[in-house]
């Protein structure tokens, strides 16, 4: 089925590594800040480290086809572990490190993992908790030994000691390693990633070397990524995007992957690394913009004036320059001056001054937000993808960037929209199968290789760009038959800085209603400036003035929704501000911070009822889970408000 | 551009250089205030004392010669040698360090944990004591200080800038001494900042300035730090004394330079080193430019005496914590 | 001298490091500590608990050498200890934290923790002024130790932040960091968990145990809240009204009638 000739000899990750170790022997491959200093490893050193660990895996008795789980934050050692696993014919399975032990146990059991590479005591403790229930799990390799001096070491192996043993026994083991690598090819599994899934148990997506390498090759060429580029790896390692950026594309083009000192220092490390290629979810860009706006509101009058003047000019000129359109000399000079005074230093603090290619994806991004970054001269683009596609389905080519589309098909991708509006694709990156789940595989991928995305969308006639409306299963109908697409409305609401998250309901009902989460940073700052005292999220959320502000936002959205021919029925008639932030620990969001609509609807059944029965306030009690797994509950009396809705636009007959 | 424009620039540059000298004096105040919370009234007198001692060493004067002559009926005044400037500066510095040590041992040590006003009083006493002691030691006559810094206008600069402003402009007239003073003061400030940021003693100095109790708990000896701070302040006073003394002779009025430093402190804040520098520059440039643009043409001149205080007063009204002083926020 | 023994969780408790013999401390007419004796053994976590005003902080100040008792003797490393000046205290290998955080608010986290190294830095003033070989190498070597502490306490993200801007829990952590940087033989913690929420308390307990475990540091801590202490201490001294009313393992102390009375029966807060 797969075409092996296109990638020639570079058809497995270990072979790409061997190429890089020769071609880029002295170019940095990984950087990491530790003890306050940036350490770096060249491709030559990286290859040696991986080789030593692979030999160590042989000593442990790793067999071809074994699954090796990897649980840790973005550190070079774990990226090496992935390729070391591939080198001995095993399949790396990176897991979300903040998942609780039971979630991990499910995955480890499902893929029959024999070994786990764990970051530190915290992860080792989780493994110790579940090891008794897992028949196949034989050992845990840990990186950071602190706190574990007294642990029973019979099933624990020190990462560095394992490497040293590997080095010591190279002479006897090398032949076996060579033999294993020789049998690998494009169809060998490269990685298995569990999708967090908005419903049901996670599924293991099997991706072959061909999937990853062919996708990486095409997209590297698409954005001209080369050995001199660099990224900062900070998204969870269990996410396909991180695998593609920090391993797939990095190995294909030989660029450098930087790892932050700790998750909290990411912003500072970003500014120090100054990556040229950068991905972040819209949430991240929203957060940055909010913090810039807050700082400007707190700044002196002159500074604010200067900022606004420069930004207003940059908003016109920046995108034009990015798209290569002609700009007058005077405007260019002004833009340059603005760069010197405002946008340059700003970009530098944000860590984005060297970004040549920036992507965002996963959620719709507001036009203002998008314009802001593009006016700074940051080439921020959108892409559309999923784990099953090895990320890339569509992406925006340079010069064709818009806020409301997700771009044209990525290299080698074919698109099809079926009658119900669902988007299908066929691509080199399309996954092999769901592990041990032929039914789901069959439901998702047909025999011709077309994969269902689960998203509803359409292709713009004149330019071939794809536009996504909502999850296909979430798109429904109101009682009167008008189309209901909650995400369409939610996205519009979330473009307000005061709104962090929102969930809109209305399928099969007369009208739409909404839950809203305020953004504690933005609203908190606003409250401070307006002398509104509050001690908690709950108290601030219930404040009448906050309600006033949110109501204005809702009504503005209604006015805008009323303009849409297909979706004008989705205006919000009633809303409430939730007494707690939706949280992944409570199962309300996925680990990638997407709302789990059905779970929320079930959990807050009483609130939805109240939104529809006309009451103006309701008492509710909710169970919450703390970070350490303990449970508690919070209760509140919530106010419910009516919002003004606007006349629907008549659908042309 | 008219010649007046260039004279304006000249006035500006002269103002900058005068400002640097103000900063230098203000710096001495700030250092001691930060480290020990004392407003050291004696800072000006320390500059005078340092300059007197320097001249004394250079000329080989015998200390207390008047006293000795009066008591023993002798007539001795000089050792008869002339010391090179650099050697004299080193000896003077040693005297200033000794002075710092004695101040700590006989004054500060006994006043630990006293009210700031008591400490302030103590420095007033110290100032008058030093003034009298300096007179007694080196004599009250006006002395000429020359450590080899060239004086007078810089001819080269004047000749080479004359072309700028047409026939009515004769080039920038800047005093060599002022330029030297600027360079020295700049070097002094940079090295002080580096010292306080990147050495263990510098860190200890900042720690003491921040919180006495916490400093004690990590094993910093407050007394040792005070000796170091007063020594540094003495060194700064010496540099200021050399510059001002070379300019207008070493005499009692030298101690009045602290009156120039006061408005600088009001402007820059009592606890900020950058404040002392920027404040000094603003006052220096401000008073010269005001005199040039408004004072002489409209007010009959002599505005330099009060302008600095006017500016400082205005500043106090709008920003009482000073330019770089920490904002005082009282949460209700 | 007692024999060393190994605890259930595998730590070695060694010989007596410090012994308090019949300590009495008075301020004017008020007696803060009345005839108290107890010992501290190498490698143990020793807690002093008691209600507010029981004289715990005064006891810590006696251990530390800040107060010199009117009666009784303090024996440290087999020698009787005499009165000291405040700045000499830190040089004897005893580091401490304070109930009301005593940090340098205007200085960064890094600089604050670096001050913990002052007693270990020997270079002369002249060498420092010139930023010469000795001083520079010393600065680098000590910075490395400080970075390990920062790593250990997971405060990399606030390395350059002025301490005054940090939330309370982090300030407590920085203060612990400064004490750790001194590589003390004896670490005194004055209510390390006061004013913290449950999560912060758990973090702090973990750090305290890790310090004790990883570096073998002897720790004396004062707490007002019994719960946490009972979990992490090897032996506990209980004080009430300046007197010792109990001394022993957490279990022994928990079952001591006087202790139960002081905490539950006769309230006098």
pLDDT digits (tens, 9 = 90+) for A35-84: 888 999 999 999 999 999 999 999 999 999 999 999 999 999 999 999 99
Residue A5 has pLDDT above 70, yes or no: no
Q: Does B207 touch chain C (CB under 8 A)?
A: yes
| Greatest pairwise CA separation for chain C in angstroms | 65
Neighbours of chain B (3+ CB pairs under 8 A): C
Q: Does C71 touch chain A (CB under 8 A)?
A: no
Q: Which residue of C has its CA nearest to A269?
A: C157
Interface test with B, best of C60, C96, C118, C190 (most B CBs within 10 A): C118
What does each C-alpha distance from C169 to A268, A628, C172 come to in angstroms? 21, 17, 5
Percent of chain C with pLDDT over 70: 94
Q: Does C104 touch chain B (CB under 8 A)?
A: yes
* C2: confidence class by pLDDT, cuts 50, 70, 90: low
Mean pLDDT computed over A208-229: 95
Q: Pick the residue with more confidence: A402 or C225?
A: A402
Using CA atoms, how far apart are residues B50 and B94, in angstroms rounded to an integer? 10
Calculate helix-pair angle for A13-23, A209-222, nearest 10 degrees: 40
CB A568 within 8 A of CB A478: no
Mean pLDDT computed over A269-298: 89
Percent of chain A with pLDDT over 90: 61
Q: What is the CA radius of gyration of chain B?
A: 22
CB B85 within 8 A of CB B147: yes
Residue A652 has pLDDT above 60, yes or no: no
* Neighbour count for residue A150 (Cβ, 10 Å): 10
* A401: confidence class by pLDDT, cuts 50, 70, 90: confident
Q: Which residue of C has its CA nearest to A263?
A: C157
Residue A198 has pLDDT above 60, yes or no: no
Using CA atoms, how far apart are residues A412 and A146, in angstroms rounded to an integer? 47
Q: Does B109 touch chain C (CB under 8 A)?
A: no
Q: Which residue of B has its CA nearest to C136?
A: B199
* Alpha carbon A270 to chain centroid, angstroms: 17
Q: Which helix (H) or strand (E) holds A381?
A: strand A380-386
Per CB-CB distance under 8 Å, the chain A contacts of C10 are 149-150
* A185: confidence class by pLDDT, cuts 50, 70, 90: very high
Q: What are phi and psi of C37, to 5 degrees?
A: -130, 140
Question: In the block, which residue shows the tokens 């760069």?
Answer: A339
Residue A295 has pLDDT above 80, yes or no: yes
Question: Which of A147, A261, A265 faces C210 most closely, judged by CB atoms?
Answer: A147
Q: CA C181, C187, C190, C193 torsion: positive or negative? A: positive
- Beta strands, E only, A114-170: 115-118, 139-142, 156-158
Using CA atoms, how far apart are residues B97 and B231, in angstroms rounded to an integer? 5
CB B199 within 8 A of CB B207: no
Q: Are A34 and C151 a contacting pair at CB < 8 A? A: yes
Q: Does C91 touch chain A (CB under 8 A)?
A: no
Question: Which of C88, C118, C131 faces B204 most closely, judged by CB atoms?
Answer: C118
Question: Which of A150, A626, A627 faces C10 most closely, judged by CB atoms?
Answer: A150
- Per residue in C35-76, pLDDT (tens digit) is 999 999 999 999 999 888 888 889 998 998 888 899 999 999
Number of H helices, E strands in chain B: 13, 0
- Per DSSP, A274 falls in state -
pLDDT score at A280: 94
| Greatest pairwise CA separation for chain B in angstroms | 72
Query: Residue B187: which residues within 8 A CB-CB, separation 6 or more?
Result: none
- Per residue in A555-603, pLDDT (tens digit) is 999 998 888 767 788 899 999 999 999 988 888 888 777 888 889 999 9
Query: Residue B127: which residues within 8 A CB-CB, separation 6 or more?
Result: B41, B42, B44, B45, B255
- Per DSSP, A450 falls in state -
pLDDT score at B306: 85
Residue A430 has pLDDT above 60, yes or no: yes
Residues in chain C: 269
pLDDT score at B291: 86
Residue C131 has pLDDT above 70, yes or no: no
Q: Give the gap in angstroms from C-alpha B88 to the nearest C-alpha of chain C.
A: 20
- Per residue in A134-168, pLDDT (tens digit) is 999 999 999 999 888 778 889 999 999 999 999 99
DSSP SS3 for B290: helix
CB A155 within 8 A of CB A138: yes
- Per DSSP, C102 falls in state -
* Alpha carbon C123 to chain centroid, angstroms: 28
DSSP H helical ranges for chain B: 3-36, 43-59, 65-72, 85-106, 116-138, 155-161, 176-198, 200-210, 212-217, 222-248, 257-268, 273-290, 304-318
Beta carbon pairs, B and C, within 8 Å: 83
Per CB-CB distance under 8 Å, the chain C contacts of B203 are 107, 111, 114-115, 118
Q: Which residues of chain B have pLDDT under 50?
A: 328-332
Q: Are A36 and C202 a contacting pair at CB < 8 A? A: no
Q: CA C220, C226, C230, C231 torsion: positive or negative? A: negative
Using CA atoms, how far apart are residues A148 and C210, in angstroms rounded to an integer? 10
Provide the mean pLDDT of chain A. 90
Question: In the block, which residue shows the tokens 């200033």?
Answer: B96
Q: Give the angle subtended at the CA of B320 by the CAs of B316 and B321, to the nearest 5°.
A: 135
What does each C-alpha distance from A480 to A471, A569, A612 come to in angstroms? 21, 9, 16
A366 Rama sector, left if φ>0, alpha if ψ -120 to 50, beta otherwise:
beta
Provide the mean pLDDT of chain C. 86
* C264: confidence class by pLDDT, cuts 50, 70, 90: low
pLDDT score at B328: 46
Q: What is the CA radius of gyration of chain A?
A: 26
- Per residue in C71-90, pLDDT (tens digit) is 999 999 888 888 887 778 77
pLDDT score at B110: 85
pLDDT score at C39: 93
Mean pLDDT computed over A415-438: 92
Please give the structure tokens belonging to residue A377. 């001269």
Q: Does C7 touch chain B (CB under 8 A)?
A: no
Using CA atoms, how far apart are residues C138 and C135, in angstroms rounded to an integer? 5
pLDDT score at A540: 92
pLDDT score at C130: 66
* Neighbour count for residue B130 (Cβ, 10 Å): 20
* A6: confidence class by pLDDT, cuts 50, 70, 90: very low
Per CB-CB distance under 8 Å, the chain C contacts of A149 are 10, 213-214
Helix/strand/coil percent split, chain C, to 5? 40, 25, 35
* C265: confidence class by pLDDT, cuts 50, 70, 90: low
Pairing status of strand A156-158 against strand A139-142: parallel
Question: Which of B201, B206, B221 faces C128 most closely, judged by CB atoms?
Answer: B201
Q: Are C199 and A626 a contacting pair at CB < 8 A? A: yes
Using CA atoms, how far apart are residues A136 and A158, in angstroms rounded to an integer? 20
């Amino acid at each position: 089925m797969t075409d092996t000739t296109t990638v020639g000899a570079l058809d497995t990750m270990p072979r790409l590594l061997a190429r890089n170790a020769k071609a880029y022997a002295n170019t940095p491959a990984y950087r990491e800040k530790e003890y306050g200093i940036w350490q770096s490893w060249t491709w030559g050193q990286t290859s040696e480290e991986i080789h030593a660990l692979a030999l160590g895996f042989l000593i442990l008795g790793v067999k071809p086809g074994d699954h090796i789980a990897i649980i840790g934050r973005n550190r070079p050692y774990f990226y090496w572990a992935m390729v070391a696993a591939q080198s001995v014919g095993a399949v790396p399975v990176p897991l979300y490190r903040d998942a609780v032990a039971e979630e991990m146990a499910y995955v480890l059991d499902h893929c029959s993992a024999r070994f786990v590479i764990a970051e530190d005591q915290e992860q080792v403790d989780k493994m110790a908790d579940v090891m008794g229930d897992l028949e196949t799990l034989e050992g845990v390799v840990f990186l950071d030994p602190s706190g574990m001096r007294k642990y029973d070491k019979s099933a624990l192996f020190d990462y560095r000691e394992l490497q040293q043993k590997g080095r010591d026994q190279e002479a006897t083991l090398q032949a076996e390693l060579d033999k294993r690598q020789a049998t690998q090819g494009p169809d060998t599994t490269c990685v298995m990633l569990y999708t967090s899934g908005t419903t049901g148990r996670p599924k293991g997506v099997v991706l072959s070397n061909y999937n990853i390498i062919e996708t990486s090759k095409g997209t590297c060429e698409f954005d001209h990524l080369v050995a001199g580029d660099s990224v900062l790896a900070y998204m969870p390692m269990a996410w396909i995007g991180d695998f593609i950026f920090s391993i797939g594309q990095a190995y294909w083009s030989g660029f450098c992957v930087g790892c932050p000192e700790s998750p909290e220092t990411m912003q500072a490390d970003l500014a120090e690394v100054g990556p040229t290629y950068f991905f972040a979810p819209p949430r991240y860009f929203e957060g940055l913009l909010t913090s810039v706006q807050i700082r400007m509101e707190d700044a002196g009058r002159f500074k604010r004036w200067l900022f606004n003047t420069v930004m207003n000019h940059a908003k016109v000129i920046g995108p034009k320059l990015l798209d290569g359109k002609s700009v007058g000399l005077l405007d260019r000079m002004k833009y340059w001056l603005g760069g010197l005074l405002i946008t340059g230093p700003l970009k530098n603090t944000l860590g984005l001054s060297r970004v040549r290619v920036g992507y965002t994806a996963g959620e719709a991004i507001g036009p203002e937000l998008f314009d802001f970054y593009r006016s700074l001269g940051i080439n921020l683009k959108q892409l559309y993808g999923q784990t099953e596609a090895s990320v890339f389905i569509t992406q925006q080519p340079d010069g064709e960037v818009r806020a409301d589309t997700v771009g044209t098909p990525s290299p080698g991708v074919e698109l099809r929209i079926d009658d119900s509006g669902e988007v299908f694709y066929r691509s080199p990156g399309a996954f092999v199968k769901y592990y041990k789940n032929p039914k789901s595989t069959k439901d998702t991928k047909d025999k011709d290789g077309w994969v269902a995305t689960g998203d509803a969308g359409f292709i713009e006639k004149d330019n071939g760009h794809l536009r996504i409306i909502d999850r296909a299963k979430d798109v429904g109908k109101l009682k009167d038959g008008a189309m209901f697409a909650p995400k369409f409305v939610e996205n519009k609401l979330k473009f307000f800085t005061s709104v962090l998250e929102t969930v809109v309901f209305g399928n099969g009902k007369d009208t739409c209603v909404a839950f809203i989460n305020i953004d504690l940073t933005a609203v908190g700052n606003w409250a401070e400036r307006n002398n509104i005292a509050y001690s908690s999220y709950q108290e601030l959320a219930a404040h009448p003035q906050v309600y006033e502000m949110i109501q204005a936002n809702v009504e503005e959205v209604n006015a805008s929704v009323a303009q849409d021919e297909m979706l004008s029925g989705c205006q919000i008639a009633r809303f409430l501000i939730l007494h707690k932030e939706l949280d992944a620990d409570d199962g309300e969001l996925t680990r990638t911070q997407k709302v789990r609509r059905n779970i929320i609807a079930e959990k807050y059944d009483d609130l939805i009822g109240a939104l529809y029965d006309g009451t103006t306030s309701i008492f509710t009690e909710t169970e919450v889970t703390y970070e350490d797994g303990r449970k508690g509950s919070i209760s509140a009396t919530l106010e419910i408000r009516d919002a003004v809705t606007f006349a629907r636009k008549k659908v042309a007959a | 551009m008219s010649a007046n424009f260039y004279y304006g620039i000249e006035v500006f540059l002269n103002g900058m250089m005068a400002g640097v000298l103000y900063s230098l004096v203000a710096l001495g105040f700030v250092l001691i205030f930060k480290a020990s919370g004392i407003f050291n009234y004696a800072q000006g007198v320390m500059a005078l004392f340092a300059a007197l001692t320097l001249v004394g060493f250079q000329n080989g004067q015998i200390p207390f010669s008047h006293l000795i002559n009066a008591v023993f009926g002798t007539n001795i005044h000089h050792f008869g040698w002339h010391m090179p400037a650099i050697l004299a500066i080193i000896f003077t510095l040693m005297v200033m360090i000794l002075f710092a040590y004695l101040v700590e041992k006989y004054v500060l040590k006994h006043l630990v944990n006293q009210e700031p006003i008591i400490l302030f009083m103590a420095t007033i006493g110290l100032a008058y004591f030093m003034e009298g002691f300096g007179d007694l030691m080196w004599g009250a006559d006006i002395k000429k200080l020359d450590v080899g810094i060239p004086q007078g206008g810089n001819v080269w600069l004047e000749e080479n800038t004359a072309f700028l402003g047409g026939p009515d402009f004769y080039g920038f007239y800047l005093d060599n001494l002022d330029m030297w003073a600027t360079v020295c003061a700049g070097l002094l400030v940079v090295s002080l900042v580096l010292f306080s940021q990147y050495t263990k003693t510098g860190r200890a100095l900042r720690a003491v300035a921040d919180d006495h109790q916490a400093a004690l708990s990590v094993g910093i000896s407050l007394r040792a730090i005070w000796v170091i701070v007063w020594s540094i302040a003495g060194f700064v006073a010496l540099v200021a004394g050399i510059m001002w003394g070379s300019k207008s002779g070493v005499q009692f009025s030298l101690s009045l330079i602290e009156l120039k430093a006061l408005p600088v402190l009001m402007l820059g804040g009592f606890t900020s080193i950058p404040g002392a520098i920027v404040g000094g520059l603003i006052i220096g440039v401000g008073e010269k430019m005001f005199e040039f643009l408004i004072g002489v043409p409209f007010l009959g001149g002599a505005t330099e005496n009060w302008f600095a205080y006017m500016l400082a007063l205005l500043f106090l009204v709008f920003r009482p914590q000073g330019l770089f002083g920490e904002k005082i926020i009282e949460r209700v | 001298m007692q024999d060393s023994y190994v605890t259930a969780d595998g730590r070695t408790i060694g010989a007596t490091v410090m012994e308090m013999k019949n300590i009495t401390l008075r301020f004017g007419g008020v007696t803060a500590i009345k005839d108290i004796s107890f010992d501290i053994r190498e490698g143990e976590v020793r807690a002093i608990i008691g209600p507010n005003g029981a004289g715990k902080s005064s006891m810590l100040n006696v251990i530390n050498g800040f107060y010199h008792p009117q009666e009784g003797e303090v024996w440290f490393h087999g020698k009787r200890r005499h009165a000291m000046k405040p700045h000499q205290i830190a040089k004897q290998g005893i580091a401490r934290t304070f109930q009301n955080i005593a940090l340098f608010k205007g200085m960064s986290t890094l600089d604050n923790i670096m001050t913990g190294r002052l007693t270990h830095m020997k270079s002369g003033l002249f060498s420092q002024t010139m930023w010469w070989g000795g001083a520079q190498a010393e600065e680098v070597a000590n910075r490395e130790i400080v970075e390990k502490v920062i790593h250990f306490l997971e405060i990399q993200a606030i390395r350059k932040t002025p301490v005054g801007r940090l939330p309370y829990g982090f300030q407590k952590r920085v203060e612990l960091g400064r004490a750790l940087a001194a590589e003390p033989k004896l670490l005194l913690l004055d209510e390390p968990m006061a004013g913290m929420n449950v999560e912060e308390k758990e973090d702090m307990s973990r750090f305290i145990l890790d310090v004790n475990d990883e570096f073998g540091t002897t720790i004396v801590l004062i707490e007002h809240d019994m719960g946490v202490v009972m979990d992490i201490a090897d032996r506990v001294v209980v004080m009430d009204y300046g007197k010792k009313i109990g001394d022993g393992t957490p279990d022994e102390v928990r079952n001591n009638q006087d202790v139960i009375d002081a905490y539950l029966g006769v309230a006098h807060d």
